[in-house]
Structure 1
Amino acid sequence: MAVLVLNQGTARNEAGNGRIAKFVADARDYMARRSVYRQTLRELNDLTDRDLADLGMCRSNIRSVAYEAAWGAK
């Protein structure tokens, strides 16, 4: 009986470890995507209006372009 209880507790701990690992992986993924978003936003904001026009963009499009670069199209 003690072995059965021990095995059940181990299974619960492994399931909890899986959730923690997924949470950590999701957090790292979010931070990496957020970094791409912020870098893209910074680089596009540094461009002149003429440079943006050459790219076919205007200042009002910068946030949506940065979002698509990080997370893909909505």
Structure 2
Amino acid sequence: MFNTFARKYRSWKNYQRTVSELSRLSDHELHDLGIGRGDIEYVARRSVH
């Protein structure tokens, strides 16, 4: 049970970090990566699974 909680917490932290890092990029930088500002949360979710 603790392992499940720890794994979910790590995934959540990674998601939050990814959203934060991508949100700091300019629209131009995101475009260079092929990501729209509206896609940040989707990309972050995909990165933790």
> What percent identity do the matched residue pairs reach?
29
Higher relative contact order (CA 8 A, sep 6+): 2
**Could you say what the CA RMSD is over the residues aligned between the two structures, in angstroms?**
0.5
Task: Summarize deviations over 1:8-63 as a string: whole Å, max 9, x none.
Answer: xxxxxxxxxxxxxxx10000000000011000000000000000000011101100
Distance 1:68 1:32 in 2: 14
Runs (4+) off by over 2 Å:
none
Is 1:61 the counterpart of 2:39 in the alignment? yes
Aligned positions of 1:1-74 closer than 5 A:
23-71=1-49
Structure 2's unaligned 5+ residue stretches are none
TM-score normalized with structure 1 length: 0.65
